[in-house]
Structure 1
Amino acid sequence: MAAADLRDELSCSICLSIYTDPVSLPCGHYFCRGCIGAAWDTQGGSGAYSCPECRATYRERPALQNIRKLSNIAERFLSTHPEHDGSGVPCSYCDSPVPAIKSCALCEASFCNKHLRGHSQSAEHVLTEPTASFMGRKCSVHHKVLEYHCCEDGAPICVSCCLAGGHRGHRVELLSEASEKKKEKLRKVLEKLSPEREETERGAQRLQERRGELEEKAAIETERVTALFRGIREELEALEKRLLSDISRQKEELSLTLTELIQQLEIKKDELSREIWHIEELCNMADPLTVLQEQWESHGAAFCGAEGVDNGGREGTEWADNGGRKREGIKVPAVGDLDVGRISETLLTGLEGIVIGVKGRWIYGQEATELVLDINTCGNNVSESWDGKTASYSMKNQHHHYAPTRFQYPQALSTRNFPSGRHYWEVEGSKLGEWGVGAAYPSIERGGDQSIIGNNNKSWCLLRQRNNTYSVTHGTNITQLPHVPSCRRIRISLDYEAGSLSFYELSEPIRHLHTFTASFTEPLHAAFCVGWEAQSWVRFITNDTIKCENPYLDFWKGD
C-alpha cells in the first residue's frame, strides 16, 4: 500500500491528521479522542450526539473505547514517514502533504523537488527557504517583493520604494550584495571570535583537567586520612590492651598475696577462737577448785601473770603466753598497691610514640626530608656544626675558603634542592636573636641587599625578630604575623607543582602560620639566615630531636 493511501486510512476525518489517541464509536468509526470530544461538546445542548462520519445519533454520550493497536500503527507510520507528521511546510501543488524545499515570495507558494523544476527561473522569482508566511518578504506599503536594501536607512525595500516611495534618492543595493557585505563583516567578527572560542575551550579543558586532578587528589587525601585514623585506632587499641593487661597482671599478683595473708589470718582466728571458747568454759564453771586447778595446769602463767599487770594504757596490745613470754597483738602486714606510676609512664610512652608516628606519616605520608647545610654557601659569620645541621652566628670571621656560591651575609642554603614533588623539613630556631627560615632559588644573588633571604623575588622567608615578633617576606611584600608562635620549631612544606610553600608551628596542635603561592621556575633549596647576635642559631631537626612541651602529656605526668 502506498504511503499516501496508508495515510488516508490513518487520518482522522475531523482534523485530517494522523490519529492521536484514537478511539472508536459504537458505529465503528475512529476519531482522535480530542477531536470527537470537542465535537460532542458543541452538541451537548441539542440533547443528542451524532457520529461526524455516518451521522448515527445517540441520546446519551457514548463511552469511547481505546484502540491501542491503531495507535501503535499510527506511531510506527509517523516514525517511518516523518514527512506526514504535519510539521514543516508542505508543497503547495501536491495533493498529499509533501515537504517543500523552497518557497517563492512572488508566487507566494512553496515547492517540492518535483514542482520546483517547473517553476520560473527569472530573477524576480526570488527563492527562499520553505516558509508558510510571506508577509515578512513583501513590502508592507506596496505589497511587492523586497528586492533591495537601503544603505542609508538599513532597511529592505521594494522597487516602488526606490522609485516613488520614501526611499527615493537613497543609495540602495541589491539584497544579495548587502547580504554579502554583511557576511564579510560577520566573517571578520568570526575570525576574532574563533580564536577566542578556542582559547575559551582550552581554558575550559584546563579547568576540567584541574577538576579531575582535584578530585583525584581529594580521593587520595581521603584515603590517606582514613588509613591514618585506622592506624591510630589500631595503635590505640593495642596500647589499651597492653595497659589493661598490665593492670590485670598487677591485680592478680596483689590478689594472690592478699589471699595468702587472708588464709594465714583465718588460721590465727581459728586458734584464737578455740582459746576464747576454753576460757569462756572456765568462766562458766561453778566449782572454784576445778577452775583454779584447770587454770594452773593449763594457762596459769598466762592468766595469773596477766592479772594486775600495768601495761601503761596499752591494754590488749600485749599479753603473756603460757610460757610466761609477752606476746604482741595481731598486726595486718602491709600490702603493695597498683603501680600507677608505671601505668602512666607506659601510657605516656605509647601516646608519644603514636603522636610521633602520626607526625611522620601525615605530611605527604613520609618522614621529614633529611637536609644538611652547604658549607660553600655559608657566609663568613656563619659557624656550621660538625653534622652540618646547625648554623650559628659568629662574631668572629670564620674565613671560609673562597667559593662563588658563598653569601656575603650570615646565611646559607641546603645541599639538596627540590626540582619537583612534595616535601617537608623541620627546623628549630634560637630563643634569642634574629633568624629566618625558608626557601630560595640557586640563582639568588650572593652579595648586596638583593641577596638577603626574602628580600627578593627568588626567595621566601619566615623571619623572627629580636622582639619575638614574626613576619613573612618575599620581594617587597612583608606581612606581620598576628599570632606569635609559642614553639620555635617550624615545619616548612613544599608542593612544587601546586606552587605552595607553607609554614607551620609545631605546637600542640600544629598551627598553620602562612602559605606563599607562586609558579616555581627553578629548583628550591632550604634557606637559613642568622644574625648579628652570638645567641642566634637555626638547625634542621628530626623526630628524635627534643620536642615542645605537650600539655596533654604533662597532665598524665602529674606535678
Structure 2
Amino acid sequence: MAEASISEFQDQFACPVCLDLLKDPVTIPCGHSYCMGCIKGCWDQDDQKGVYSCPQCRQTFTPRPALGKNTILAEMVEKLKKMRLQAAAPPAHCYAGPGDVECGVCTGRKLKAIKSCLVCLDSYCQTHFEQHEKLFKGKKHKVTDATGKLQDQICPHHNELIKLWCRTDQQFMCYLCMLDEHKDHKTVSVAAERTERQDLTLDPNTAHKELCLSEGNRVVTWSNTVQSYPDHPERFDRWSQVLCRESLSECCYWETEWNGDKGVSISVSYKDIRRKGGGSECGFGRNNRSWRLHCSPSSYSFWHNNRNTRLPIVPSSSRIGVYVDHRAGTLSFYSISDTMSLLHRVHTTFTQPLYSGFWVGGSVFTGVGSTVRLCHHQK
C-alpha cells in the first residue's frame, strides 16, 4: 500500500481525543469510536452531573453507557500498524549484520554505520551522520570511516567504558575515575558536555493562577493566593502548570532545582497541548503531547500518555538536569549533585518543537506549595 494511502487510513483510525491510533477501541452508542482510556477519562469528569456526552457530536446518554472493546476495530488498527512499519522499513541490506559497525543512535534494529566521530565517541548511519554534521557545523569534530574500535574504548586505569568528561582536567574518563584521581572534580556525561546549554524563562501567559512567578520569570511557586493574571487563551485554567517561553533547540540541556513536600513535575511538551479543562489532554505526561518526570521527596516516576513508570531510585538531590536531542528522539533526565546520575531516558520520535514545562504542587489546607527554579548555566 502506498505511503499516502496508509496515512489516509491512519487518520480514519485516530482517536478524536488523543489524536493517536486507537488503543483498546470502543464504540459508543452514537457510533463514534475512542480509546477506552480516553473516553473513560472524559466521562469520569461527567460523573457528578450524571449526564455523559460524545466529545464529537455532543449526543448525551443517561445512564453512563457500558464500554466494551470493539475487537474488529482493534484488529484493523493492528493491521494498520504492521503496514506502517513495513512501509517505513529500510531495505534489508541497510541493517547492520555480523562484522558491521552499528549506528549508535538508531533505536530498535540498528542500521550500518558509515562514519565515526572521535569526539562524540559514537558511530552513525547516513541519516544520523547528516544530523551530526549539521549540529556540529564549524566545530572541530574529527570524523573517520566507521570503526568498531569506538565501541571498545575503555579506561586504561579501570577497564570501564569511557562515558564521562572531567571539566576540571578537560579529559575523558570512566565512572570509577570519579572515585579516584578525579574525586571532587566537576564531571558531566559526554552527551551533556557536547550539548548546547540553554537558558529558559517561564511564560506568564501560560501560568495557572495559583502559580506565582518571580526572579525575572525564572522561579515558580504554588500559592494559596490566586494571582491577578488576565485571562489568556494559552493559560492553564485547571492544572497548576506553566510552560517556558522559548522552544527548545534541536540539541540542548538545562537544569532546575526544586523543593516542597507536594512535589513537582519537570516536563517537555508540544505547544499545542490543551490548556482549558481538567482532563488528561491538558496534564503534562497524561497524553501523547507531553513527557514528565515527577519528583517527590520519596520517589521519582515518569509519565507519558497517561502511563506511569515508577523509577527504582531514591531522591538524593533537588537539582535535575534535562537533555533533549530532538532529531535523535532522545529525552534524558539526570540527578545532579557533585556528579550526574541518569534517572530515566526515553527514545521516541518528536514531531513538533518542544517546550519545557512544570507542574507545581501545593496544599489548600496548609497553604504551602512547592517551588521550581530554572538554573543559570555557567560556561
- TM-score when scaled to structure 1? 0.37
1:442 to 271, 289, 295: 271
2:369 to 507, 527, 535: 535
1:380 equivalent in alignment to 2:214: no
The answer (yes or no) to whether the contact 1:364–1:423 under 8 Å persists in 2 is: no
The residue aligned with 1:464 is 295
The residue aligned with 2:316 is 486
1:264-279 pair list within 5 angstroms: none
Q: Which structure carries more strand by proportion?
A: 2
Alpha-carbon offset, residue 424 of structure 1? 1.1
Amino acid at match of 1:538: V
Q: 1:200 to 1:393 in 2, by over 3 A?
A: closer
How far apart are the structure 1 equivalents of 2:269 and 2:306? 15
How far apart are the structure 1 equivalents of 2:354 and 2:94? 26
Structure index of larger Rg = 1
Q: 1:426 to 1:377 in 2, by over 3 A?
A: same
SS at match of 2:271: coil
Alpha-carbon offset, residue 482 of structure 1? 1.1
SS at match of 1:401: coil
Q: CA RMSD in A?
A: 3.5
1:222 equivalent in alignment to 2:121: yes
Alpha-carbon offset, residue 214 of structure 1? 4.8
1:499 equivalent in alignment to 2:329: yes
The answer (yes or no) to whether the contact 2:95–2:112 under 8 Å persists in 1 is: no
The answer (yes or no) to whether the contact 2:164–2:188 under 8 Å persists in 1 is: no
The answer (yes or no) to whether the contact 2:332–2:345 under 8 Å persists in 1 is: yes
The answer (yes or no) to whether the contact 1:453–1:460 under 8 Å persists in 2 is: yes
How far apart are the structure 1 equivalents of 2:89 and 2:356? 39
The answer (yes or no) to whether the contact 1:461–1:474 under 8 Å persists in 2 is: yes
Alpha-carbon offset, residue 421 of structure 1? 2.1
Amino acid at match of 2:95: L
1:45-60 pair list within 5 angstroms: none
Superposed CA deviations along residues 131-155 of structure 1, whole A, max 9, x for unmatched, are xxxxxxxxxxxxxxxxxxxxxxxxx
Alpha-carbon offset, residue 217 of structure 1? 5.5
1:430 to 235, 239, 259: 259
Aligned pairs, number: 230
How far apart are the structure 2 equivalents of 1:494 and 1:217? 21
How far apart are the structure 2 equivalents of 1:529 and 1:493? 19
Alpha-carbon offset, residue 199 of structure 1? 6.8
The answer (yes or no) to whether the contact 2:198–2:252 under 8 Å persists in 1 is: yes
Structure 2 residue ranges without an equivalent (≥5): 1-85, 97-102, 123-140, 142-152, 154-161, 172-181
The residue aligned with 1:400 is 229
The residue aligned with 2:284 is 453
1:523 to 333, 353, 358: 353
Alpha-carbon offset, residue 471 of structure 1? 0.9
1:234-273 pair list within 5 angstroms: none
Q: 1:422 to 1:201 in 2, by over 3 A?
A: closer
The answer (yes or no) to whether the contact 2:195–2:251 under 8 Å persists in 1 is: no
1:474 equivalent in alignment to 2:304: yes
Q: 1:231 to 1:406 in 2, by over 3 A?
A: closer
The answer (yes or no) to whether the contact 1:438–1:492 under 8 Å persists in 2 is: no
Q: 1:417 to 1:231 in 2, by over 3 A?
A: closer
The answer (yes or no) to whether the contact 1:368–1:426 under 8 Å persists in 2 is: no
How far apart are the structure 2 equivalents of 1:532 and 1:426? 22
The answer (yes or no) to whether the contact 2:188–2:339 under 8 Å persists in 1 is: no
Q: 1:428 to 1:234 in 2, by over 3 A?
A: closer
Structure 1 residue ranges without an equivalent (≥5): 1-197, 236-349, 546-559
